Structures are given as C-alpha cells and as structure tokens.
Amino acid sequence: MSDSLNSNDKREKLLELNKVTTHYGPIRILHDVDMVIYPGEMVCLLGGNASGKSTTLKTILGIVRVSEGEMYFRGQRADTLSIAERIERGMAVVPENRRIFPKMTVLENLEMGSYLRNDKKAIKEDLNYVFDLFPRLAERLSQLGGTMSGGEQQMLAMGRALMSRPKLILMDEPSMGLAPLFVEKIFEIIKQVNERGISVFVVEQNANVALSIADRGYVLQTGEVVLSGPAQDLLNNEAMKRAYLGEV
C-alpha cells in the first residue's frame, strides 16, 4: 500500500495514517504523512523542534483534525471520530509535561483515566496492574497530584493512560525534564508495558534512548516523514547520526 516500507507486510494494522495533512488555521503543519503501527509494536517518532511531532500525536488522538488524507484505527476509518470515540476504541495518551490533574488525588487521577469505562471489575484489575507496575502510586493514593515529584507524576500519567485498557498508548516526550536515571527507568517500564501487547507510539527528542528500545522509528522534518525504518537501521544511519544522535 502507500507505505513502501511495509508493502509486503501482511499483518493487520493497528493504526494507519494515509497521506495525512493537517493545518493550524492557514498554516500547514503535517504534509502527506504516511505511518503504520502494528499490534504490539513500539514505534518512535523523532525529529527536531517544530518538526510536527506533537502535532502528529494530537492528530492521531483527534485534538487536531485531519484536513486531507485518511486515518484508520483497528481497521476502521478514524479521522472522523471524536476524541472520546477514539479513546473508547483503545487509544490513550501520556501528554507532554505529564499534565496530571494537580488538585486531584492520585486515585482520582487514575479514575479519570478510566473515565469512559463502565466495567467496574475490570477497572479494579487494571488499578491493581498499575499498582504492581508503580508501587509508589499505591503508597500515595490520597496525595494530591500536584505535590508529587516530576518522576512520580510521570508514573501517574502513565498509570492514568493504562487505566483505559488501551490498545495503543501515545506518549509525548516522556523523558522531558526528568533526571537521566529516571529516564532509563521510565523507558524500562514503557518496554514492560509494551511486552504486555500494548502498542506504544512515543514522540521523543531523546533519540538514542527511544531507538534503543523501539521496534521501528519515523523521522519527521518540517511536517514530512524524511526517514523511516527499523530502529536498529536508524541507529546506524549516517544521516541520522549526524542530525539526531549527536555523533560526528
């Protein structure tokens, strides 16, 4: 199909962007972006400042509307769906800068993650899963979100996303503003989550860390995909090294 890289891949696609173009008012942000995520995959999106990384994520979630092109999620046309409908079909987001609700408790923040669900029993199970993953959160159930450290807030934001029992988690710069040690820990947890079969789409500036655990990567430049391929190939790509990986 349109994505030349995966044209011979017969697997069912979880998410597909087909020549997606988006605008902020009259300004074009994304231009003919093709992108595929397969079930269980971890895909990272790299790129410099203002390359359209965050916009891609917001387009997938529906905060920014698609002006041209199509988007499919789990085999269904998705670019006409509302944000809530996309979440119900299995998307979840860890927004940039965590953006947890500062005046709600840890438990209430997690409850907001399962806002659209009605299956009380399964919600309880997922809550326990989140507590297994982040024991720190279980200790601080009634603490206000805003009083936690940056790392704890990142855990909470991830826990909140997991509470919707998603098929695909969208992460916007999970490493931003965290201590290097913590970045590694967070990515380790992302890997763990991914190993449970949840697909992860991560927008990241920290290309080295992201590529070291991702399956595949896309590189965005001024709203266009300029490079894509398996993570290992991108790590060894000469142009990549010069531009993003900080090697000369």
Q: Which residues bind other proteins (CB under 8 A)?
A: 61, 63, 83-84, 87-88, 93, 95, 99-104, 108, 111-113, 115-116, 160, 164
Minimal distance, residue 237 CB to other proteins, in Å: 31
Minimal distance, residue 95 CB to other proteins, in Å: 6
Q: Output the CA–CA distances (angstroms, integers) from residue 99 to 96, 174, 175, 234, in the order listed.
A: 7, 11, 14, 30
In terms of CB distance, is 1 or 122 closer to other proteins? 122
In terms of CB distance, is 202 or 225 closer to other proteins? 202
In terms of CB distance, is 112 or 213 closer to other proteins? 112
In terms of CB distance, is 80 or 236 closer to other proteins? 80
- What is d(CA 55, CA 156) in angstroms, rounded to the nearest whole number? 23
Q: Tokens for 79?
A: 């670019």
In terms of CB distance, is 60 or 231 closer to other proteins? 60
Q: Tokens for 169?
A: 């988690």
In terms of CB distance, is 10 or 103 closer to other proteins? 103
Minimal distance, residue 93 CB to other proteins, in Å: 5
Supply the DSSP symbol for 26: T
E strand segments, the chain: 15-24, 27-37, 42-47, 66-73, 76-77, 91-94, 168-172, 199-203, 216-221, 224-230
CB atoms within 10 A of CB 170: 25
**Residues whose CB is less than 8 angstroms from the CB of residue 242 and which lie 6 or more positions away in sequence, other chains included:** 248
Minimal distance, residue 99 CB to other proteins, in Å: 5
Minimal distance, residue 87 CB to other proteins, in Å: 4
The 3-class SS string of 162-195 reads HCCCCCEEEEECCCCCCCHHHHHHHHHHHHHHHH
Q: Torsion-angle region of residue 197: left (phi > 0), alpha (psi -120 to 50) or beta? A: left
Minimal distance, residue 33 CB to other proteins, in Å: 21
